[in-house]
Amino acid sequence: MAGRTRILYILIAFVASVLLWIYVVGVENPQKEDVISGVPVTFIGADEIYEDYDLMMTSEKHATVDLTVMGSIRDIAELNTHKESITVEADISRYNSAGTKQVSYTVTIPDEDVTLLDQSPYYLNVTLENVITTAVEVRLRNDGSVSEGFITKTPVIEPASILVTGPRELVSSIGYAEAVWTRQNVDSTITADVAYSLYTDDGGLVESEELNVNYETVSVTMPVQKMKTLPLSIRIVGGAGAVETDAKWTIEPAEIEVAGEPSIVDALNSVDVGSIDLADVLGTAEFTFPISLPNGVESLSGEEECSVSVTLEGLSVKSVVCDNIVAINQPEGLAVKVITNERSITLRGKAEDLDGIEPINLRVVADLRGTGITESGRYTVDADVYVDGFPDVGVLGEYNVSVELVPEDEAGE
C-alpha cells in the first residue's frame, strides 16, 4: 500500500512541474540571454570584385557566426529553430586588391523583441586572390579495348584544350587535363562525350570548387579500323608470242597487313599492283611497282612498293631475215619507194613452230597514214611485222624502215 502511495505522489509532482513550466513560458514568458550558434553568413559583392578587379574570395565561403541575444524563452527557441530567418551579410565589394581582409558584417533579427547583445567573431578574416584564366591541354588515357581483329588510331579530342579560371596560384599548378576512355570491345569508330580531371605536371589531382572551366566534358572520336592480310596480285598480259600460262612470277612481299574502314576492308580480297606485258619480258625480267591502296585503307606493315620477277618457260627465240618490206597509205600526190631492203626479225614461240618459219612467212609493213608526212623526202617510219600462218608466234622488239617520197609525176624518172 505504501508503494502505491509513493508512486501517486511522484506522478502528482511531475504533473505539477509541467503545469508550472507551461504557466511560466506561456503566461509569464520571462527574458533570458542565450547564444544562437552556426548562423550562416551571406557575402555580397563577389560578382563586382570579380568583374572589376579579377578578384575571388577563397576562404570563409561557408562562414557561420554565433550570436548572443536577449529575449523571451519562446522567441529565442523560435529563432533557434529557424536560423535562416536571421540575416547576416558581409559586404566585400569595396576591396580592390588581393590579400586577407578583416570584413565586418551586419545582423538583422526578424523578431523585434529579441535584442542582439554580442557576435562572434567580431570580424571575418576573408582571403581574396587574383583570378587568372589559362588554356590547359586535354590528354586522353585509353583504358578501353577493341574487338579481335581491330585496332585504334590516334583519337581526336574536341576541344584540344580547355580554359580554366580561378585563383592564380591554384590555376598555375595545373599541368594538364585528362579524359579517360573506357569503352570495351569496340568494332567501329565511336564519338562520345567524356568527363575529365585536372592534374599537376607530376600527376597530382587538382580539385577545388574555386575553379571554373568552359567545358564540363570533351568530345572524343576514337577511330577504329579493321585489320586484314591481303595478297598482292599482278595482271599478266600476253604479248610477243607469250601467254599467261608461259609465265611464272613471284611478288615480294607476297602479302601485306592493312587496316581501314570495315566496310572497305571487307570488300578487299587482294591488292592489284599493276600489269606486265609479256612483250617486255625476254627470259627473266624484274619489275618494281608502287603499292596503291584504296582511300581509307593503309598499310600496317609499311611497304610502299613491291618487286615482281617474271620468267618465261617453254619458249624459244629465232631470228629470220625478212626482205618482204612494203609501205602503204602514202600521202596523196606522192609516190613511195622503200629504201630498206631487209630486216632481221626476232621471233618467239614454241620451238616446233619456229622451226617451220621461213622468210616467206614474214611481212614488214610501214603504214604512212597518221605519220604527218606531206612532203617529198626521205623518212624513217615505224613498221609492223606480220607472221603469216603461225598465229602463236610473236615478234619481239620494235622495227622501222626507211622510205623515200617523191611527187607522183616524178616517180617514173
- 406 and 337, same domain (yes or no): yes
Residues 6+ apart with CB under 8 A from 354: 316, 317, 318, 347, 348, 393
Residue 237 lies in a domain: yes
Question: How many other CB atoms sit within 10 Å of the CB of residue 370?
Answer: 7
Residue 252 lies in a domain: yes
* Cis preceding-peptide flag for 262 (omega within 30 of 0): no
Task: Return the C-alpha cell found at 179.
Answer: 579524359
pLDDT digits (tens, 9 = 90+) for 280-336: 998 899 999 999 999 989 999 889 999 999 999 999 999 999 999 999 999 999 999
Domain boundary among 185, 206, 222: 222
How far apart CA 367 and CA 379 sit, in angstroms, is: 12
pLDDT digits (tens, 9 = 90+) for 348-390: 999 999 999 999 999 999 999 989 999 999 999 999 999 999 9
Domain boundary among 222, 243, 262: 222
What is the pLDDT at residue 59? 86
Residue 12 lies in a domain: no
- 160 and 204, same domain (yes or no): yes
- 76 and 88, same domain (yes or no): yes
Domain that holds residue 234: 226-312
- 272 and 322, same domain (yes or no): no
**CATH code (residue 382):** 2.170.120.30
Task: Return the C-alpha cell found at 327.
Answer: 609501205
**CATH code (residue 300):** 2.170.120.40
DSSP single-letter state for residue 403? E
Residue 3 lies in a domain: no
For residue 363, the surrounding DSSP H or E stretch is: strand 362-367
Please, which pLDDT band fits residue 408 given cuts at 50, 70 and 90? confident
- 248 and 298, same domain (yes or no): yes
What is the pLDDT at residue 66? 95
- 246 and 293, same domain (yes or no): yes
Q: Is the pTM of this model over 0.85?
A: no
Domain boundary among 190, 222, 254: 222
- 171 and 216, same domain (yes or no): yes
Residues 6+ apart with CB under 8 A from 23: none
Closest CA to 402 of 316, 338, 315, 332: 338
Residue 100 lies in a domain: yes
- Rounded to the nearest 5°, which phi and psi values hold at 135? -85, 135
- 320 and 397, same domain (yes or no): yes
- 389 and 406, same domain (yes or no): yes
How far apart CA 288 and CA 272 sit, in angstroms, is: 13
Residue 236 lies in a domain: yes
**CATH code (residue 109):** 2.170.120
Question: How many other CB atoms sit within 10 Å of the CB of residue 207?
Answer: 7
Please, which pLDDT band fits residue 4 given cuts at 50, 70 and 90? low
How far apart CA 80 and CA 182 sit, in angstroms, is: 50
Residue 16 lies in a domain: no
- 148 and 93, same domain (yes or no): no
Angle at alpha carbon of residue 352, lines to 349 and 356, rounded to 5°? 95
Are 225 and 153 in contact by the 8 Å Cβ rule? The answer is: yes
- Domain count across the chain: 4
- 183 and 153, same domain (yes or no): yes
Residue 174 lies in a domain: yes
Rg (Cα) of the chain, in Å, rounded?
A: 51
Task: Return the C-alpha cell found at 71.
Answer: 529575449
What is the pLDDT at residue 3? 57
Residues 6+ apart with CB under 8 A from 138: 157, 159, 160, 161, 162, 176, 177, 178, 179, 196, 218
